[in-house]
């Protein structure tokens, strides 16, 4: 969990549709926003960009199986022999009128959604049972959550009653020209050398019948380009940044190397 203070220079993000305008409108009206899309397609960078652009503090929470409502709201801790209440990131965001971003919210325990519901309707309130407080979110506070629909299963599925409390944007991988510009900008690799990387990503994402949960992400392309820009041989860079992260299966790894060879051969 971390807080990102306002910054005049927003982290680099290249819009692909109307997502910036929708975020602006949601923030202005105090509406919650849900971002849906595959791993590494730019959801977190988008939120960081928008928080800095709007001049709002950002609290980011990486959700996981053990994340409880208390982790978000806060708890009493023993300090110097005395019991002291410590706000969690969601409570701090509400008090400060900040943006709270719950990354992969579907991974959190079910009691988390109970806490979020009053913040996602006209009440815009956060109940802190342990202290007896009822906080009303001030202007500027915004709740943003994200998840990867591709990983949903019968045990981990965002309930309709929760989904329908949010505006939603679906993120995908950008078109080739945009992805080339993003990877070149982030890695420092010349755009002409990024083009085959993006072409490779397109081939991998289009493959059918291969035992891959997801195609290669833009994030992994940036990693590969960064290694190549640092003079690592292409084959070694792609093995470390594409093949190994995508699979543990020897047959699938070889198939990926074959695709790489077809692009770079």
Contact by Cβ (8 Å): 115, 162: no
The tens digit of pLDDT for each residue in 137-153 reads 999 999 999 998 876 55
pTM above 0.75, yes or no: yes
**Please, which pLDDT band fits residue 195 given cuts at 50, 70 and 90?**
very high
pLDDT over threshold 60, residue 8: no
Q: How do the domains of the chain map onto residue ranges?
A: 2-170, 176-264
Reading the block at residue 99, the tokens are 């943006």
As a whole number of angstroms, the distance between CA 264 and CA 99 comes to 43
Half-sphere exposure of 143 (CA within 13 A, CB side): 27
pLDDT over threshold 50, residue 189: yes
Percentage of residues in the chain having pLDDT higher than 70:
93
**Please, which pLDDT band fits residue 36 given cuts at 50, 70 and 90?**
very high
Strand ranges (DSSP E) for the chain? Answer: 2-4, 33-36, 58-62, 74-79, 82-87, 99-103, 125-128, 133-136, 142-147, 167-170
CATH architecture of 2-170: 3-Layer(aba) Sandwich (3.40)
Question: Of residues 261 and 6, which shows the higher confidence score?
Answer: 261
As a whole number of angstroms, the distance between CA 225 and CA 196 comes to 11
Q: Could you give phi then psi for residue 77, rounded to 5 degrees?
A: -130, 150
Closest C-alpha among 216, 262, 263, 218 to residue 242: 216
As a whole number of angstroms, the distance between CA 144 and CA 33 comes to 5
Closest C-alpha among 124, 90, 98, 104 to residue 40: 104
pLDDT over threshold 60, residue 96: yes
**Please, which pLDDT band fits residue 245 given cuts at 50, 70 and 90?**
very high
Q: Could you give phi then psi for residue 80, rounded to 5 degrees?
A: 60, 35
pLDDT over threshold 70, residue 2: no
Query: Which of the 8 DSSP states describes residue 244?
Result: H
Q: How far out from the chain centre does Cα 237 lie?
A: 24
Contact by Cβ (8 Å): 86, 75: yes
As a whole number of angstroms, the distance between CA 126 and CA 159 comes to 20
**Please, which pLDDT band fits residue 6 given cuts at 50, 70 and 90?**
very low
Compute the mean pLDDT over every residue in the chain, rounded to the nearest whole number. 91
């Amino acid at each position: 969990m971390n807080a990102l203070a306002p910054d005049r220079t927003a982290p680099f993000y290249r819009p692909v549709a109307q997502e910036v305008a929708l975020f602006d409108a949601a923030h202005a009206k105090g509406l919650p926003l849900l971002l849906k899309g595959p791993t590494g397609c730019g959801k977190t960078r988008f939120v960081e960009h928008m928080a800095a652009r709007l001049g709002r503090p950002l609290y980011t929470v990486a959700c996981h199986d053990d994340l409880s409502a208390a982790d978000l709201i806060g708890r009493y801790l023993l300090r110097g022999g005395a019991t002291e209440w410590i706000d969690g990131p969601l409570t701090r965001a509400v008090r400060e009128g900040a943006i709270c971003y719950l990354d992969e919210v579907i991974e959190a325990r079910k009691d988390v959604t109970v806490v979020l519901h009053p913040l996602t309707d006209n009440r815009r309130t956060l109940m802190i049972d342990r202290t007896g407080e009822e906080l009303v979110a001030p202007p500027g506070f915004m709740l943003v959550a994200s998840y990867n629909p591709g990983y949903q299963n019968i045990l981990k599925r965002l309930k309709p009653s929760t989904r329908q409390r949010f505006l939603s944007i679906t993120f995908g991988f950008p078109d080739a020209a945009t992805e080339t510009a993003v990877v070149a900008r982030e890695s420092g690799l010349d755009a002409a050398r990024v083009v085959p990387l993006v072409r490779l990503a397109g081939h991998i994402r289009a493959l059918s019948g291969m035992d891959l949960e997801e195609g290669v992400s833009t994030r992994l392309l940036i990693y590969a380009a960064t290694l190549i820009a640092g003079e690592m041989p292409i084959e070694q860079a792609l093995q470390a940044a594409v093949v190994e992260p995508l699979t543990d299966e020897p047959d699938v790894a070889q198939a990926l190397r074959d695709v790489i060879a077809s692009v770079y051969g």
